[in-house]
Amino acid sequence: MHSIRSVSPIDGEPLGEFAVSSTESIRRQMRAARVAGASWAKLSVKSRAAILGKFVPLLLTELDSICDIIVRSTGKVRTEALLGELYPILDLLKFYQKHAGSILRRQGVMTSPFAFPGATAGIERRPYGVVAIISPWNYPFQLTMAPLLTALYAGNAVIFKTSELSLPIGQLIFELCRRLDLPENLVQCVVGDGAAGTELIDAGPDLVFFTGGLTTGRAVMQRAAQHPIPVLLELGGKDPMLVFADANLQRAADAALYGGFCNSGQACVSVERLYVQQNCFDEFLALLQQGVAKLQVGHGEHGDLGAMVSDRQFAIVKAHYDDAIAQGARASGPLERQGNYVKPVLLWQVNHGMRVMREETFGPLLPVMTFEDEGQALRLANDSDLGLNASVWSNDIAKAERIASQLQVGNWVINDVLKNIGHPGLPFGGVKKSGFGRYHGAEGLRQFSYPVSGLTSRSHLPKEPNWFPYSDQRYRQFKGYIDFVYGSGSLLQRIKRNWPALEAFKEYSAFDLTQRWQNLKLLLSWKRDY
C-alpha cells in the first residue's frame, strides 16, 4: 500500500490522497523526535506553557475552517464538531495553562529526623521522551489533540497516527502544530492503517497512548509488551444510564436521547444501556418515543445526527438490531439507512441475553430496560465487562451519589450525561475491559511523565549508624530503636524500656535524646503538680 484515498462519509467525495509512511521513514521520525524532545524537555513548564498557550488564539481564528474539515471528514453535524471536538480542547488548554506548573512541580516528602538526620527528600516529574499517540475515527480531532497537548505540556515529543478513516484531521493537526514556535520535529504524523501503528510501536517510543476498541487495544498492548513499552489504553464502553422514578423525567428523557444518539451513537461514552424504574417506565418510554420522532438526520439547517463513518460500523449496528428483534424486542421503527445516514431507533423489551445489551454497539440504537429497586439497578448496571462512564438520575442527590459510588466505572455523573468527560480537571479513563490509565486533570498530566525520587543528605557525621562494623550489640541496639519507633505502649514506656539503645544512637540523632528525656521528665512533673 503506497497511498490511502480519503473520502467523505457524507457524500463519498474525495478528500485527498495520503502517502503511507514506510518503516524506514517512521524510524527516521523517531530519531528526529528524540533530538527535538531533548531540547523541549529542558524548557521550564512555564516556557512550554507560554508556547502552547498560543494554540488558543490560533484555534479561535481558524474555528470555522477547522469545523468544516471535521464535518467533511467525520460526517458530524456542524454543532457536534464545535462542541464535541473543538470546545473540549480549548478548555483543556486553559486548564493546563493555569495549573501545569503546580502539577509538575517538585514535591517535597517528609523524612524522619531519626532515620534520616539532616536529610531532605522529594519527587520530581520527568517526561518519558517520545510519546506515540494512536487515535480513533469517531472524535479524531479531540482524541488526538488532548493526549498530544498533555504530552507536550509534560515535556515530551509526540508522533501521532490518526485512523486511516480520518487522515485529513491528522494533516490538519500537523499543520496547526507547525504554526506554533515548537522545535522542529517535536510533533510528527504517521500515515497508515493498523500496520503503520505496529511499525510506530516497533520504532521504540517511550510511551504509547491508544484510544479505540478492545480488540485493537489488546493488539497494541501485546505489541508494546514485546519491547517493553508502557501503555495507556482508553477503550470502549457500554455505558449505563439509571433513571429513578423521582427524577425529572422530561429532562432525563431529553438527556437519554442526546447521550444515546449524539454523533449517531459513535462515542465511547454513549448511553448504550438505559435502565428505567418500573413504576415510571411507561411514562418515560412515551417521552422517549415523542423525542426520537422529532430528531432530524442529515446536514440540513436543523440536522441533529450526521452520517455514520463506515459500512463496517453499520454492519455491527444492524447485527445488534436484528438479534434483538429476533429475540422479541420491540422497536420504535425499522433500522433505516440512506447512504451513511441512519435513523435512530429505540428498543425495549430487551434483556441481557441480547447482543445490544452486552456488546459495544457504537451506533444509533438505544435499548431500554426496566428495574424494580436500587439493588437490581446496580446489578444490571455492573453486569458488563466494560466500565467507562455512567449516569444516575434522581432528585434525591444523596441516593444518587450513594448509587454512583457503587458503580464499576471510571467516571460517573448525576442528572447529566457525557458532559463530565469534558471537564478538564477530572481524570478520565475506564476500569475492567474499558482500559487503564487516565488523561485530563492533574492525574492525566502526571501520566505522561514518570516520578524520580531523590534524597539529599546534609549530615556532617563521619559515618551513618547503619554502616559497618556490625555486632551482636549493634543488633540489640537497632532492635531497641525499632521498638521505640514502632512498638506498643506510650512514648514514656517506649523510652524507658529502650533507653540504652537510644543512648547508643544519640550522636546520630538530629536532637539530643538526653535533653529530650530531661524535658519530658520536667513536663510530666509539671502535669503532676498541677
- Residue showing cell 511523565: 449
| Bridge partners of residue 211, in order along the sequence | 234
Q: Are 94 and 56 in contact, with CB atoms under 8 Å apart?
A: yes
**Do 509 and 119 meet the contact criterion of CB atoms below 8 Å apart?**
no
User: Distance between CA atoms of 202 and 505, rounded to whole angstroms?
Assistant: 54
* CA dist., res. 411 & res. 421, Å (int): 8
Cβ-contact 174, 202 below 8 angstroms: no
Distance CA 352, CA 304 (A): 29
Rounded distance, CA 275 to CA 383, Å?
A: 12
**Pairwise CA distance, residues 160 & 220, whole Å:** 14
**Straight-line distance from the first to the last Cα atom of the chain, in angstroms, rounded to the nearest whole number:** 91
Round to whole Å and give the CA distance between 374 and 382. Answer: 12
**Backbone torsions φ then ψ of 357, nearest 5 degrees:** -100, -5
Q: Is 326 helix (H, G, I), strand (E, B) or coil?
A: helix
Could you tell me the three cell numbers for 310?
A: 463506515
CA–CA dist 528, 526 (Å, integer)? 5
Catalytic residue among 234, 272, 359, 360: 234
17 catalytically annotated: no
CA–CA separation, 84 and 86 (whole Å)? 6
Pairing of strands 130-134, 207-211: parallel
Catalytic (active-site) positions: 234
